[in-house]
Chains A and B, each alone.
Chain A
C-alpha cells in the first residue's frame, strides 16, 4: 500500500497527550511516524482543509447490526457503511440477533461478514446466557477465543443477581466486562414511555427511572462483591448516575455510557408533530429535563465514561404501528457526531479533547480494544472531523437500511469529514469537496 503523509493536520489525541499541528506518516496502513516537519520522501502528501480535526478513530460500543436473522432492518454491510459515514472506525455489536450470539459459530459468522464488508471493524459482544434467557452461562471462553470483547444480554437485563455474580466472576478471567441493560422487569411492566406527566397525559404506560437505577445499584453491589467490571449500557436516569458516581467513589469497577438522544431530547419530544411519533420510542425511554441535564453534567464532570449510540434499526413497517406496539429503538450511527459536536462542544459543555475520550479512548480502554489513540506502529484508524461545518439530517439519505430517527430535518454544526480504517479511506463526506484528496 501507499506511503501517505498527512501534512500539518490538527490532531486531538488525549491518550497520547497530543493536541495541535502534527504530520502523520502512514505506511502500508500503519502509522509509521508522528512528528513535525517530517521529510516527504516519496510519500503522497495530503493537506487537509482549514477547520479539519484528526482524531483517533471513533468507536461505538453499543450497536445493533441485526445480522444474522433480521436483515430486513440492517445487515453487517449496511450497518458498517452507516458506521463509517458516522465517523466510526469500529463498532461493538450486541448479541440479540437471531440466533443470539451465544455461540462461537455465530461470532465467527459476524466477523466473517464484517471482513467481507471491509468497512468499520466489528467487535462482537457475546451473550451472558444461552439465548439471553438468563438460565445458563454461555461458553464465555469460547466466545472470547472467537473474537468477543465483552458479554451482555442486551435487550434484556442480566436476569438475576446470582447470574450477574457468576458472569462477572467468570468474565473477569478473560479481562472482559459484563455490559448490563439495567431494567427491573416488574417495575417496567408493559410501560412504553418515561413515567411522568407527559406519558400520563398522553395515556401511555410509564417506566419509572427507578426501574433502571434499581438494577444499576444491584450491579454496583455485585461488582463490589466480585471485583469484576460492569459497564452500564444506555444510562438514562439521574438516579442511575447517582449510583454510578457512588460506586466509582468506592473504587468499584463500574463504568457507564449514555446515548446522544438521552442528553439531547426529553419526553417532551413525544408531544411533537401531533404526538405519538414512534421515532421517539426507545428503551430506556426519553426522560424528563432533570434527567437530561444530569446526563450532560455527568459527561462534563467525568462520571460518565462513554458516549455510545445504541443504534437500533427497525423497518419502517414496524415503526408504523401503534405507539404501544411499535418496537423500541432509533438509529444513531450517523447522527452521533453532529449531535455531540453541536450540543456538547459548541454548547460549551466539554471540549473536543474530552469528546475524543468519550467516543474513542474510553470505549477502547473499557473493552480492551486496539485504538483509542494514534500510535506509531499501530494501524491508521483515523476520523477526520469538520466541527464547523453544518449538517442537515435527512432520514431518507442515511446509509443505514433503516431510517428510524427523530432528528430528521435537524440542522447541526459538526460534520464527519472522512473515516480512515487501516490507512484506507472508507468514507468521505460528499459535502466537503476539499476532502476528496483523501480518496
Chain B
C-alpha cells in the first residue's frame, strides 16, 4: 500500500469510499499537524481567508469544539450554526438551509445531522467541500481517523492488530466508520453486542461477531467501547442498565483477558457504570484523552487535504 499524494474526492463523506493510501495520507499529515499544538503560537496561516461553516443539527460539544479549534489553528474564518433537529422540527428543509449557506459561498461545510445520508444530500447541493461530522447511524469518518491515529501512535501499526468494538453496534456510526477503516488497513475486528443490537452486514466485511464480552476482549490489543443510550431500554433492545453492565461492561477483570499493553478507547461521552467501569476509564489502559487531543490534529489534516488543489478536483 502506498500513501496517496492527495485525496480523490473533494468531500469527506465516509470511510467507505476511501482507499488505504488515502487513509495513510491523512494519518501522516495529522502527525505533522499535531506538532503545531506544541508551539507557543498554535497557529499556521495555511487556510487564511478560507471560510468554513460548522453546521450542527445535533448537539455535540466535543466534536464541534474540536473542529472549531482545528479550523482556527489553520487560520480559517469559522462560523458555527447550531440548529434544532431535522427539517420537520426546524420548519426549513435541509435543501433550503444548504442553499442559504451556498449564497454565502463558504469554502467548506462541516455538518453533523441526525439523518443518515444527509451529508450526501448536502454534497449534491453545495459547491463547498463537505465534511461529514456524523450523519445519523451511517458514518463519522473523522472519529475513525482519529481512532486509527491514536492506535497507530500507541501500537506503531494497524495491520494485524486485534480490535474489539463493544456496545450498541446497531445504531452506531462510529462502529461503521471504524469497521470500514480497520478492515481496509488490515486489522482484525471483533464486534460484540447483545443479539438485539447486532446489525446486518458485518460478517460480509470480515468482522467477527460475538455476543460474548469475554470472547471479544480475549487477546485484544485494542478495546473500543461505544456508548449505550438510555433509549435502548425503552425500545425493547435491553432490559436494564444493570444487566447490560453485568454482561457487557468493561471492568478491570475483563481487561486482564486482553493482550498485554492493550489500550482502551471510547469516542465519548462516556456513560460510567453502563458500558465502562470508572477504574478502566481512568486507568493505565485508557487513551481516551489522547483521542480528544488527536482529534484536533486529524481534523486539521483533513481540512488541509481537502482545501488544496481545488481547480483540479472540481
Contact = CB atoms under 8 A, between A and B. Distances in A.
Whether A and B touch directly in their complex, counting CB atoms under 8 A apart, is answered as yes
Interface of A: 195-206, 274-276, 317, 320-325
Given A276-B121, A320-B93, A320-B95, A203 B200 contact: no
B88 interface: yes
Contacts of A320: 93, 95
A200 B176 CA distance: 9
A322 B117 contact: yes
In order of increasing CB-CB distance, the 3 nearest A-B pairs are A203-B138, A276-B117, A197-B201
A323 B119 CA distance: 11
A206 B113 CA distance: 19
Contact of B136 (A200, A321, A324): A324
Most-contacted residue by chain A among B88, B176, B200 (CB, 10 A): B200
A15 B162 CA distance: 66
A325 B200 contact: no
A196 B201 CA distance: 7
Given A322-B117, A323-B116, A324-B116, A206 B200 contact: yes
Given A274-B124, A323-B115, 14 more contacts: A196-B201, A198-B201, A199-B200, A200-B200, A200-B201, A202-B117, A203-B117, A206-B200, A276-B117, A276-B120, A322-B117, A322-B121, A323-B121, A324-B116
B270 interface: no
Nearest to A208: B200
B299 interface: no
Contacts of A196: 200-201
Contacts of A322: 86-87, 94, 113, 115, 117-118, 121
A4 B114 CA distance: 62
Given A195-B200, A320-B95, A322-B113, A201 B137 contact: no
A276 B200 CA distance: 18
A202 B138 contact: yes
12 contacts: A196-B200, A201-B16, A201-B201, A202-B116, A203-B136, A204-B116, A274-B123, A274-B124, A322-B87, A322-B118, A323-B121, A325-B115
Nearest to A198: B201
A207 to B, nearest CB: 12
Interface string B185-209: 0000000000000011110100000
Interface of B: 16, 86-88, 93-95, 113-118, 120-121, 123-124, 135-139, 170, 173, 176, 199-202, 204
Given A203-B136, A323-B115, A274 B200 contact: no
Contacts of B87: 321-322, 325
A325 B117 contact: no
A325 to B, nearest CB: 6
Contact of A200 (B88, B123, B199): B199
Contacts of B113: 322
Contact of B117 (A198, A205, A275, A317): A275
Contacts of A276: 116-117, 120-121
A317 B204 contact: no
Most-contacted residue by chain B among A197, A200, A201, A276 (CB, 10 A): A201
B139 A203 contact: yes
Contacts of A205: 137
Given A201-B176, A201-B201, A325 B88 contact: yes
B77 to A, nearest CB: 28
A276 B94 CA distance: 14
A274 B120 contact: yes
Nearest to A323: B117
Contacts of B136: 203-204, 324
B3 to A, nearest CB: 26
A217 to B, nearest CB: 22
B176 to A, nearest CB: 6
Contacts of B199: 200
Nearest to B16: A201
Contacts of A325: 86-88, 115
A206 B201 CA distance: 12
Nearest to A194: B200
A321 B94 contact: yes
Nearest to B199: A200
A240 to B, nearest CB: 20
B210 to A, nearest CB: 17
Contacts of B173: 203
Nearest to A197: B201
Most-contacted residue by chain B among A197, A202, A205, A321 (CB, 10 A): A202
A204 B170 CA distance: 10
Contact of A275 (B88, B114, B120, B200): B120
B1 to A, nearest CB: 23
B311 to A, nearest CB: 22
Nearest to A318: B93
A199 B137 CA distance: 10
Contacts of A199: 200
A324 B120 contact: no
Given A196-B201, A322-B115, A203 B120 contact: no
